[in-house]
Amino acid sequence: MEGSHDFSTTSKHSADGIHMTSTELTAYTSISFIVVLWCLHKWNRRHFERVALKMTGLSSYPFIGSGLEFIGTPQQVMDSVFKLFNGFEPRKLWLTSYFFVTISKPEDLQIILNSSKALDKSKFYNFFKNTVGEGLFSAPVHKWRQHRRLIAPVFNANLLDQFFPVFNEKSRILIENLKKELGKTQPFDLSDYIMKTNLDIICQTAMGYNLDSQSNKESEFADALIKASELDSMRIYKPWLYPDIIFSIYRKIMGLQNVYNRLHKLPNQVIREMKEKHAQKKMQNNNNDIDANNGKRLKVFLDTLLDLNEAGANFSDEEIRDEVVTMMIGGSETSTITDCFCILMLAIHPEIQDKVYDEIFEVFGDGDQTITIEDTTKLVYLEQCIRETLRLYPTAPLLLRELQDNVKIHSDNQTLPKGTICIISPICTHHIPELYPNPWSYNPDNFDAENVNKRHKYSFIAFSGGPRGCLGYKHAIVSMKVLISTFLRNYSVHTDIKLSDIKLKLDLLMRSSNGYPVTIRPRDRRPTYKKK
């Protein structure tokens, strides 16, 4: 009995001991797992940590990094961008386990934008696939190389001349539509008119499609683009929305699941109708797409894509749509923002507006002759105004490049490790005082030939730079010169707001938070210098 008693006591104690050990083991295992995860996290970041120790940056927290700094409205996000780039030296940023470094100085920009090790636009561009797919703007390097080689000939500057009848026709419709604003003292938003003009221009010149949106009151494409851009860009700063399944649930909860369908409705319609037209022309072997003004066949971007497909390029329907959406956004929204900002700047600075009009009068007199490509080369000061507008308000304020290998930059002779995501901000580079004195003032003389020659080539990166720079920048500049000069030949523009009143917001592109409010008056078609 005594032995039996001893045995039962031992068993009870053993059982109790096992119970306690299981509880402790669970706690120890959980803590050990967290420690191991943290150690792996730090080990994987060790190359980045060595560089990060030498840099300043935004406040960072374990696992989420600096994501909390970018919570807020699109305008507040823009304020955080300026805070991040404060000082113009390379600065660090963590978003979850991703390591970012800001690149501002022209010498460093030239290295990054031209490096074969920095052609990748980073995983974060995947967040914009819902909007732009994998067109030239966002495509991974292997697809970008293939598509750019095939598409680049479409942007030959020698082909610009064929687009001028479209530029002129759509600009004349704009002038007619604006007549309803004459005599009104209440400001109207320029973008309500100019977005439709540029959408018509890009659909006609790039797709051969006469959209005629200027005859319609609403623009579903433009409205959906703004909503989709805000959705996609917001996701970058909210790590909890990185997983596609979480983002999909978020869209449904917020009632936003149809935004992308509305955005792609117009491009899909354009492609469908133009494919049918293209097939009919092939069957008839008849070039029906003739420019009535000069009798030349109008060879457009979508024609080229469809021809390439027939020649064996094997673009999928989705890839064609992605390139068309990219073209429509690049050719309408970006040009619209710049046109609106430029006209608003001329309204805020009437003395500069007078100088631009004097140049226009010297080229055209008081007649209504159609603008030619030769005429636009004479509008030198107007181009300075456009470029100064793009300096102050570049449409793409942030660019990302992910390093596929170590890259050494000029600043402190630092070597950025493979996997670093470089954040390039044209608006921050464009406001470095050493490059542009009084950087927040509007001064078109920043782009006279003498001042341009003094600066580093990469002091102005409104169209990015290097191999992945904008293919359509010449098309953009020329179309803007036609639209703005046509506008100013017919109307003087005025506003009560000041430069300091303009607030910026950031999504896929950068815009004015409060629109572009102006009033217009009929132009007194005499040179202003005769009145002085």
pLDDT tens string 491-520: 999 999 999 999 998 888 899 999 999 999
Over residues 443-452, the mean pLDDT reads 97
Residue 3 has φ and ψ, to the nearest 5°, of -65, -40
Over residues 190-216, the mean pLDDT reads 90
Q: Which pLDDT value is given to residue 368?
A: 82
Q: Which pLDDT value is given to residue 9?
A: 44
Over residues 200-219, the mean pLDDT reads 85
Mean pLDDT of the chain: 86
Give yes or no for a contact between 335 and 277, defined as CB atoms under 8 angstroms apart: no
Q: Pull the structure tokens for residue 466.
A: 């290097």
Nearest C-alpha neighbor of 319 from the set 203, 332, 281, 327: 327
Give yes or no for a contact between 119 and 467, defined as CB atoms under 8 angstroms apart: yes
Over residues 98-112, the mean pLDDT reads 95
DSSP-based three-state secondary structure for 521: strand
Percent of the chain with pLDDT over 70: 91
pTM: 0.86
Over residues 136-141, the mean pLDDT reads 88
Q: Is the pLDDT of residue 292 over 50?
A: no
Over residues 337-357, the mean pLDDT reads 98
Q: Which pLDDT value is given to residue 420?
A: 95
Beta 517-522 vs 491-494: how paired, if at all?
Answer: antiparallel
15-24, 35-44, 161-170, 229-238: segment of lowest average pLDDT: 15-24
Question: In this structure, what DSSP letter does residue 131 have?
Answer: H
Q: CA angle 148-154-155, nearest 5°?
A: 85
Q: Which residue has the higher pLDDT, 231 or 392?
A: 392
**pLDDT category of residue 10 using cuts at 50, 70 and 90:** very low
CA 288 and chain centroid, separation: 35
| Separation between Cα atoms, residue 140 and residue 123, nearest integer Å | 9
| Separation between Cα atoms, residue 325 and residue 133, nearest integer Å | 8
| Separation between Cα atoms, residue 125 and residue 424, nearest integer Å | 14
**pLDDT category of residue 189 using cuts at 50, 70 and 90:** very high
Query: Residue 385, annotated ligand binder?
Result: no
Q: In what order do the strands lie in the sheet with 98-103?
A: 92-95, 98-103, 421-424, 399-402
Give yes or no for a contact between 361 and 185, defined as CB atoms under 8 angstroms apart: no
| Separation between Cα atoms, residue 80 and residue 58, nearest integer Å | 9
Q: Which helix (H) or strand (E) holds 470?
A: none
CB atoms within 10 A of CB 249: 13
Give yes or no for a contact between 112 and 458, defined as CB atoms under 8 angstroms apart: no
Over residues 460-470, the mean pLDDT reads 94
Alpha-carbon dihedral sign for residues 229, 231, 233, 234: positive
Q: Which pLDDT value is given to residue 5?
A: 47
Helix boundaries (H) for 89-180: 106-114, 129-132, 141-151, 164-178
Nearest C-alpha neighbor of 68 from the set 92, 95, 50, 44: 95
Q: Which helix (H) or strand (E) holds 416?
A: strand 415-416
Q: Which residue has the higher pLDDT, 179 or 72?
A: 179
Give yes or no for a contact between 396 and 385, defined as CB atoms under 8 angstroms apart: no
CA 22 and chain centroid, separation: 56
